[in-house]
Every structure is written in C-alpha cells, then in structure tokens.
Amino acid sequence: MTTPQRKPLLQRLAGTNTLWIALVLLLLIAVFGALRPDAVLTVFTLQTTLVETAVLLVLAVGMTFVIITSGIDLSVGSVLVFSGVTSAMTMNALSGGDATNAGWGVVAVGLLVALVSGAAWGLLNGVLIAKAKIPALIVTLGSFGAALGAGQLISNGSNVSGVPNVLSNNLGTGTTFGVPNLVILAAVITAAGALLLGTTRFGRHTYAIGSNEEAARRVGISVTRHLMTVYLLAGVLAGLAGFMATAYFRVASITGHDTDNLNAIAGVVLGGTSLFGGAGSIVGTIFGVFIPAVLRKGFVIVGVNVYWQPIAVAIVLVAAVWFDQSRRKARDQR
Amino acid sequence: MQAAEVGGLSGGSMADPLLEAKDLAKHYGSVEALRGASFTAFEGEVVSLIGDNGAGKSTLVKCLSGVQRPDSGTLVFGGREVVLDSPVAARALGIETVFQDLAVAPDLDPAANLYLGRELRKPGVLGMLGVLDKKEMRRRAIASFEDLGVTLQSIDVPIGSLSGGQRQSVAVARSVVWASRLVFMDEPTAALGVVQRERVLDVIRRVRDQGMAVVLISHNMPEVLAVSDRVEVLRLGRRVAKFRAADTTVEELVGAMTGALSQEDA
C-alpha cells in the first residue's frame, strides 16, 4: 500500500483557476503596457485604478463567501446606496443639518449607522434564504429593489451632501506613504476575508455547505445559522462599502450603483469561484475584480472606444464559467 | 422450507444487546414506513438488515441514527433507554452512519471530509480564533486511511475527482474513524467494482474485530452472507425473521424477504 502524497506546490497551483486568471490579468497589463508604456505603467494610473476598484473589492469579498455557499446576493449595490444615505443623513442630523465641518465623533456614528444598515439588510436576506428557504436569487432581487427604494424614500430621491470634510479628506482622498487610504482599508478587509475563508473553521464550513449542504448538515454543521452569518457578512461589507463610497465622492449618491451587484459577481466568478458553490478564493476575487478595471483603464489610455469594455469582460466571463463547468463535468463523470 | 428450523437466535444465549429497538412506527403522511419494527445489534458482530424495496430499511436506519424520530416505540442503547433527536445525539453515543447517497463534500479533499464538522484547531490564540490545524488533520487522516486500508494516490485533490470506490472508502472511513460503538452502513458497496467492494467488506470486518457493532444494509445476498454474523429481515415495516448467517442460504433470505417464509416471534 502506498501512502498518499501531496502534489508539489507548482502542480497544485496549476490545477487552479486562480493561476490562469492571474496570468490573464498580467497579460492584459503587459499588452497595454507595451502599447503605451508612458501612460500605463505610472504611479498615477496604478493609484487611480486601485482607488476606483477599492469599493467594488469590498463588495466582492462578501460576494465570494456568498457564492461559495452556492448562493447569490443581488442586493449589495442597493444596500450600499441605502447605507450611504442613512449614514450621511445621520451625520447631518447630528450636526444641525450640515455635517461638512463635523468632527470624528460624528464620523464614528456615521460609520456605525452604515454598518448597522448593511447588517440589517444582510440579516433580512439571510433569514429569508436560510430559514424560510426562499431561493437566494428571488430574496436578493427583492432586497435589491427594496433597499434602493427605501434609500430613495429616506432621502427624497436625491443625493445627500454635507459629508464631513475630515472623512472625505482622510478616508476618501487621503494617502499614507503614497498609498490611498481607501485602498489600504480595502486591502485590510480583503486580507481579513482571505484569512477567514482560507484558514478558519468558518471558511471550511462555508466551502462544505456550498459543496454539499446535506452532507454538512449531517455532520452536525449548523447550516441555517452559517448561511445567515454569510449573508449578514455580505450586508455589513456592503454597508462599509457605502460608507467608503460616500467618503470618496463626498456625497451619498442614489444613482450609479445599479450594476455594482453584477460587477461584484463578475469579479468573483472571473476569479475562479464557482457559481455551483464549494470552490473559490479571495485571492482569485482580487484578480477577477481587477480584470474589468484594467480593461476599462487600458481601453481609455490606448484609445479604444470604452464601450468595448463590457463586451470584452463578457467574453472573458463566459469563457471562465464555461471552463469551470467543463472541468466539473469531466470530474463528476468518474 | 421450515421456518422453525432455520430459526433465529434463541434469546438469552448471548450477552445483552448493544442496541435494541422495539415496536418502532413511522408515518410519512398516510404511508406507514414502519409498523412496529424491532431490531437488535450486538457488540463485535456484523448484522445485516435486509428487505425488499420499500420494506422500511432506510427509514429504520434513519430512526436509529437520529436523522428522523420514530412516531412511537422504544430504543435501548447500552442498557439505557435513549431518545435520538438528532444525528449529533447519536454521534455522542458513538453511533455513526454511512449514508446510501454518500454524504461527502465533493469539492473538499479527503482529509477535510474526514474531519468535516470535527475540525482540529491550532493550539492557543489562533485556535480560539477558529484557525484550523490543517497539517495535523492531514497527518492523522493519512494514518487513519492507512489503518483502514484505504488507498489514495493523492491527499489534496477534491474528493469529487476520485473514483467512486475511493470516494465510498473515504465516506466509510469517516464513519468508522469516529464511531466507538456502532456503525450503520446503508448500501456501502452499491455501484462499486469487485475489487473496491472487497476492500469495503474488509474494512467492515476490521471494524467488527475492533469490537464495534456494524449494521449493514444491502441488497446483495451473497455479500450479506459473506460478511455478516447475523441477518435480520424486514418486510412491510416489520421484522419478520432473524438468521445466523452461517446457518442460512440465499434462498431462505429471499423467502423471508418476499413473505414466502416467516418466523413467528421475530
């Protein structure tokens, strides 16, 4: 009898989607870099690309957990808007109507309100999906509409201005050693998410539930509670994303987030996380989120009509899912 | 055929049973899956539970392993009356189950499946934060697979990419590694090749020799006779016969399953 061996690291890496998607990203950067080395490979381009992707990355971290459980969350963009609105309006209310010159205390309350708003929607999603067993697609399609509607009701359908300067100048546009603070926050969240998913029991159970929910239940994993926690996590991160977007744009915007959910899902799936659940990684999601961003930036710099970007993303996305599907089919035929 | 002669065990000649179920009933709506079914298992034996499709085998196993609760009837385990309201409760008593539909997570590797729901955590602060000790789990998993004679070429591929036999072996291994008293195996060799089937049967014998009770549910009569010490037959939700495997034949078992033969006091 032979003792089972671990495959060498390189061989294990080659078997993952993550490696391939990382190569695609590097290839894109190399191609754009070769076409316009002067404009592409600059600190400014790097900084703006990172900043523009930071908020989406935070949404995508939560989405990665959700999709690994073989769920979906269409509501993240609307929850982002709702949380931004409630947060900004609370900060204004605490400062007599205009929080522009408010201090850190007000900002802290604003952050808390954003997180709680996100948590509330996430918990609602989780209860309906895990306890009431309504399909995630329908539940989050509902909260996608409802959260946006609620945000518009509260703000009377207009953007909320009066965001504190201390918030916008520091978190929104400030930098630390040349790195935008927004990017640092997103990086910390992403790293924490990667550790949670990759090294802890919570992460292991997330994979197990997505791979075979019944098997997870039979070994005594509390599937209902775990799923609720995962949607709660996605909601809290959407709330944080709302706070970050508010800080960056200096306004809690009602519009412009209609397709955040789809962008987050696309990034996660591009990064090798399977829509069928059970497989995926945060590292993959990072690459996946940056592919559309690099394409957009690259097209602008190289002078390709930017409307080509969604088409290019669509092609890569469909190819990635097709690849994942055929790999699974080959595996399950054994 | 003479039922009296093929006769089951005369009571009292053996030690007290490890598990004794009496008069279990279970309805699914208007369907009566179990109508006063009884079942007995002793330590250190393989007892097969056989019956035609719809006889109630799977329902009985679900009731005995805590997946479902019987509507009525009593369950005595290790001399004490117990109520199994969840698989966790059964597991706490040292009862494990290999399910017919292979409850493994195909995307996780064999070690992760072996430790699913019982993950080892790192010592200290990291462990309190829920950080897994993957290295230790892998090391112990390799040792367990070796003990049970489960051969795997690789320890870090998703279990879904293994052959059906290997997947089944891992599912069986997971149950017997954690069981301390009794293992239910619902069709553990279904859809396996000849060699793989032999391997699973070997595992079953090894577990029995460690002093555990193994309850085997199978449709394969030669297999039942090859591996069992005793056989209990279920028909229409009730136990209708008990045999010693050494004293019976495939014909008798089939007769009992189909109702051609029955024992009065089974």
Task: Quick: pLDDT tens for B46-101.
Answer: 999 999 888 888 889 989 988 889 999 999 998 899 998 888 888 889 998 887 66
Q: What is the pLDDT of residue A16?
A: 65
Candidates A230, A68, B175, A237; CA nearest to A222 is A230
- When pLDDT is averaged across residues A120-147 and rounded to a whole number, the result is 96
For A76-127, how does the pLDDT look when each residue is reduced to its tens digit (9 = 90+)?
Answer: 999 999 999 999 999 999 988 888 888 899 999 999 999 999 999 999 999 9
Percent with pLDDT over 90 in chain B: 31
B107: nearest CB among A2, A12, A211: A211
Q: What is the pLDDT of residue A211?
A: 94
- When pLDDT is averaged across residues A222-231 and rounded to a whole number, the result is 96
Distance CA B167, CA B165 (A): 5
CB contact under 8 A, B67 and A218: yes
Q: Is B131 on the interface with A (CB under 8 A)?
A: yes
For B:183-222, CB contacts with A below 8 A are none
Contact criterion met (CB below 8 Å) for A152 and A142? no
- A10-14, A210-214, B206-210: least confidently modelled range: A10-14
For A:200-239, CB contacts with B below 8 A are 200-202, 204, 207-208, 210-212, 214-216, 218-221
In chain A, the residue whose alpha carbon lies closest to the alpha carbon of B131 is A200
Contact criterion met (CB below 8 Å) for B33 and B25? no
**DSSP-based helix, strand, coil % in chain A, nearest 5:** 75, 0, 25
> Residue A60: inside a domain, yes or no?
yes
Percent with pLDDT over 70 in chain A: 94
- In the predicted structure, residue A232 carries a pLDDT above the cut 90: yes
- What is the number of residues in chain A? 334
**AA letter at B250:** V
- Predicted TM-score (pTM) of the model is 0.85
CATH of the domain at A143: 1.10.3470
- In the predicted structure, residue A329 carries a pLDDT above the cut 90: no
- In the predicted structure, residue B8 carries a pLDDT above the cut 60: no
Q: What is the pLDDT of residue B3?
A: 40
Q: What is the pLDDT of residue A12?
A: 60
- When pLDDT is averaged across residues A282-300 and rounded to a whole number, the result is 91
Q: What is the pLDDT of residue B128?
A: 86
CB contact under 8 A, B154 and A212: no
> Residue A234: inside a domain, yes or no?
yes
- Name the band, by pLDDT with cuts 50, 70 and 90, for residue B11: very low
> Residue A152: inside a domain, yes or no?
yes
Q: Is B107 on the interface with A (CB under 8 A)?
A: yes
Which residues in A lie closer than 8 A to residue B117 (C-beta atoms)?
208, 216, 219-221
- In the predicted structure, residue A15 carries a pLDDT above the cut 70: no
CA–CA distances in Å: residue B15 to residues A155, B8, B207 = 77, 15, 19
- In the predicted structure, residue B39 carries a pLDDT above the cut 70: yes
Q: What is the pLDDT of residue B12?
A: 41
The alpha carbon of residue A92 and the mean position of all alpha carbons in its chain are separated, in whole angstroms, by 28
Which residue range is the domain that position A226 belongs to?
6-333
Which residues in B lie closer than 8 A to residue A219 (C-beta atoms)?
87, 103, 116-118
H helices of B129-261, in order, are 134-147, 164-178, 194-209, 221-227, 250-258
- Name the band, by pLDDT with cuts 50, 70 and 90, for residue B10: very low
CB contact under 8 A, B154 and A201: no
ipTM of the complex: 0.82
Q: What is the pLDDT of residue B231?
A: 93
Q: What is the pLDDT of residue A309?
A: 84
- When pLDDT is averaged across residues A139-165 and rounded to a whole number, the result is 93
CB contact under 8 A, A278 and B155: no
A212: nearest CB among B104, B117, B162: B104
Which of A31-40, B151-160, B223-232 is modeled with the greatest confidence?
Answer: B223-232
- When pLDDT is averaged across residues A42-64 and rounded to a whole number, the result is 92
CB contact under 8 A, A6 and B158: no
Q: What is the pLDDT of residue A334?
A: 52
> Residue A1: inside a domain, yes or no?
no
* Number of domains making up chain A: 1
